Structure 1
């Protein structure tokens, strides 16, 4: 029997953890053996699964003795944040991922360990050393045998997902005796025409498909439209000397935004707007580190980005870009920008405003109408980011660290930079599979997004479509 189970991302957009298991019985039927893999082991954020944004509930409360490997689709924390706890629970198998993800995974987990696990440097190094020992980097498009034990075998193949650098969807070829099945786990799929990364291509086959639905209820703006909207927000900063605050995840969105901003500055020459005076600040050591890694992994960029580099441009290290590292410099920057009238764009973590340096900027700048808050990604229910989106346009307020802050800054959302596929993109991914999967499971979405995507799939395909609980 080939089973799929879900240990997260069924009641929201975080905590991704899925299980594929193969169970065999002896000829007598009295004994059985089970072998399985996990696809991702991520952190819950916001109100997903009834967990808190502080991630207080990190227990691995499901069996792991039969798990032979962990497959990582990409290194966002809602897909990898529980890995240290999985190791602590006794998992001893390999961690299989793409080659870029193998470079980035220890870096993102080091930050997660410092925030939510321990400040003990020796313990952190021990855990990171263990993770590095377990990593098995696999090139895109190449089959990797996880196990093969007579009646039972499983091989996996990673394909580009276009979500962030190193992201992949996972094709699994499972066999029990004469029964063979290919199961595909989408991970997070990227939108076509996103900066830096090639768009995902549909799998050649999928008997069963587990697919994300973050934006299963609507489409994004096209790249030209979202670039125009981004440029308009930047121009407002130049016009009134305010700060555009972008809560951005350290991996993916920060680098894509830098790429687009560099393009806007390079291509713009409008009277009355001195684009060269617009300073761009990345205030996040983690984001700065991953921006460096992105630069080092140029072979995995798309053709447009590589051509920009060949022409002599530096899309991730241009003249107006400043990186803030130390906490003291961060506090000085917050104070200076809150008082000054210097036009500036600040990219700071975390992406949902649930912690990190962005919180200090919000406290100092939300009450000033010269400033703008620009969201470029999904804001999970229960996070401050969702509150700002909900109440900011109404001139409302929110609570940060127990204190009330009025929202006078302008609030914008440009969904095209979310790094997630929109509804039509998700549908095209399914339509591109030559034969419709016998079963499609919809995960990783709010209830409304999942319901809308399910209705669309039911209109389009005659197959079993389900939303796991």
Structure 2
């Protein structure tokens, strides 16, 4: 076969996304991400993140979005000798250097000049491509390949990738889903299926379940926050800097507008109204603050609902009760103050799976106090502290943070509807929405049970040619 697909990550789990499309003697990579949690041993470890597959024939890297499990190994790809362009959407081109600067500082080097050299190289390679526009990657005697990016609705700038390939008279349209977003998520338009695809590589993070409706999750968020804040505790939300933080700010601002000072006093509980009027929202993450600013600057990529709020004078990502903490000293002071005070507060801090970042200091200081609450709003990979807190917290267990055990007496909640990933029904709709059904569907980026469940659902609607790479 002169047109083929190979997988270099996100095969045995949900991280390390990296897929190769071979067209004749050339090829491209779709994403080049870090492995995380228990999966950090599958192709890359903390001490060895080298690229362990041939890249001499790779003509370009196409980035679906800038989450670290999709882009974190780009510096190692450059170190391995990759010299091609990095193709991505226009918002992703703005955000990619920011996320990689943070990743380089944490896991590569603190040498500022070296970081700047790497970032300069990345910026020079970036090729921003507008959505819905075909871009030629190569066209020579060995074959041709063009790609087109379509909105994926996962985070700002996210895309799924359509590939038009030709080699030795063989023509194919291939689609790589990247990470698809859930419909009706705030801020971003929902993904629409491609018009056609011969082969599809699709994610399955939530291939075994559906999310709550937006209305349900919004009121569940309201209920959790009001209950948690009534006793003067802190609600700690581990959140990824890109996407989840901005969606939560959007939803919290809407709750304040509805149940706080903007509500009808005659129909409101005065205690509830007071909670929302005095509630302080803290974003304690320089990276999240940076991406929130970028989100604000890129309003043309927002959906109609969010744009309408702005036209009404609302500021869903910049409102009166929002405080942003940048400096490390201010961070440490906030941890100490909130651990001792009884002031209601919601803190959004990275990282989303509690595997590092400022959220760890909050957890160390607050997990043992039953006044506090931990609210998870996203997927927690196996082997991460977040998964352990979610699993053992309700049983009064403990979690290991930086080599020490911490008892979990804080209440632990999960509102799954805030995942930035499509649910099972959304994934099925995406594939069945393709007018000409694909002859092959490859399921990646999910736990084994999620992939098997999605495969079963796709079979049940009459689709064929479904395979799970890496599974016997």
TM-score calculated relative to the size of structure 2: 0.96
Structure 2 CA distance, aligned partners of 1:58 and 1:460? 40
Residue 377 in structure 1 maps to residue 378 in structure 2 = yes
Query: Shift of the alpha carbon at 1:233?
Result: 1.4
Query: How far apart in 2 are the matches of 1:219 and 1:375?
Result: 17
Q: Which residue of 1 aligns with 2:468?
A: 467
Deviation at 1:49, TM superposition (A): 5.8
Contact 1:5 1:18 (C-alpha < 8 Å) held by counterparts = yes
Name the counterpart of 2:423: 422
Distance 1:428 1:205 in 2: 14
Q: Give the distance between the partners of 2:182 and 2:44, measured in 1 at CA.
A: 27
1:204 is the counterpart of 2:203 = no
- Name the counterpart of 2:345: 344
CA apart distance, 1:135:
0.2
Cα distance in 2 for partners of 1:97, 1:140 equals: 9
SS for the counterpart of 1:244 is strand
Question: 1:127-182: CA deviations, max 9, x gaps?
Answer: 00000000000000000000000350000000000000000000000001321100
Contact 2:44 2:50 (C-alpha < 8 Å) held by counterparts: no
Distance 1:54 1:103 in 2: 29
Change (3 A) 1:379 1:52: farther
Where do 1:26-105 residues align within 5 Å?
A: 34-48=25-39, 50-51=41-42, 55-105=46-96
1:11-32 per-residue CA deviation (whole Å, 9 max, x = no partner) reads: 1110000000112xxxxxxxxx
**For 1:71-122, what per-residue CA distance to the aligned partner results, in whole angstroms no more than 9, with x for missing partners?**
0000000000000000000000000000000000000000000000110000
Name the counterpart of 1:28.
none
Deviates more, 1:166-175 or 1:271-280: 271-280
Matches within 5 A, 1:444-455: 444-455=445-456
Q: CA RMSD in A?
A: 1.1
| Structure 1 CA distance for aligned equivalents of residues 111 and 127 of structure 2 | 27
Distance 1:43 1:217 in 2: 24
Q: Distance in 2 between matches of 1:245 and 1:397?
A: 17
* Paired residue secondary structure (1:154): strand
Could you tell me how far apart the structure 1 residues matched to 2:456 and 2:374 are?
Answer: 34
CA distance in 1, matches of 2:417, 2:244: 11
- Alpha-carbon distance, 1:255 to partner: 0.3
After TM superposition, what 4+ stretches of structure 1 lie above 3 angstroms from structure 2? 51-57
Tell me the SS of whatever aligns to 1:15: coil
Gaps of 5+ in 1: 24-33
State the Cα deviation string for residues 179-229 of structure 1 (Å, max 9, x = none): 110000000000000010000000000100000000000000000000011
CA contact (8 A) 2:18 2:32 kept: yes
Instruction: Report if aligned partners of 2:206, 2:423 keep a CA contact under 8 Å in 1.
Output: yes
Match of residue 186 from structure 2: 195
1:247 and 1:349 in contact (8 A); partners too: yes
Aligned counterpart, 1:360: 361
DSSP 3-state at the match of 1:220: coil
1:53 to 1:342, Cα distance in 2 relative to 1, 3 A:
farther
C-alpha contact (below 8 Å) 1:43/1:55 kept by paired residues: no
CA distance in structure 2 between the partners assigned to 1:402 and 1:178 by the alignment = 58
Which position in structure 2 is the counterpart of 1:437?
A: 438
Give 1:261's match in structure 2, choosing from 242, 246, 252.
Answer: 252
Is the 2:40–2:46 contact (alpha carbons within 8 Å) kept by the matching residues of 1?
Answer: no
Give the distance between the partners of 1:56 and 1:278, measured in 2 at CA.
Answer: 43
1:272 corresponds to 2:271? yes
Query: Within 2, Cα distance between the matches of 1:403 and 1:63?
Result: 41
Show the 5 A alignment for 1:232-381.
232-268=223-259, 269=263, 270=268, 271-273=270-272, 274=274, 275-381=276-382
CA contact (8 A) 1:46 1:53 kept: no
State the shift of 1:459 in Å. 1.5
- How far did 1:416 drift? 1.2
TM value normalised by structure 1? 0.96
Deviations 1:430-461 (A, max 9, x none): 11000210000000001110111111111212
Q: Distance in 2 between matches of 1:321 and 1:182?
A: 46
- Mapped to 1, the partners of 2:251 and 2:168 lie a distance apart of 51
Q: How many residues align?
A: 459
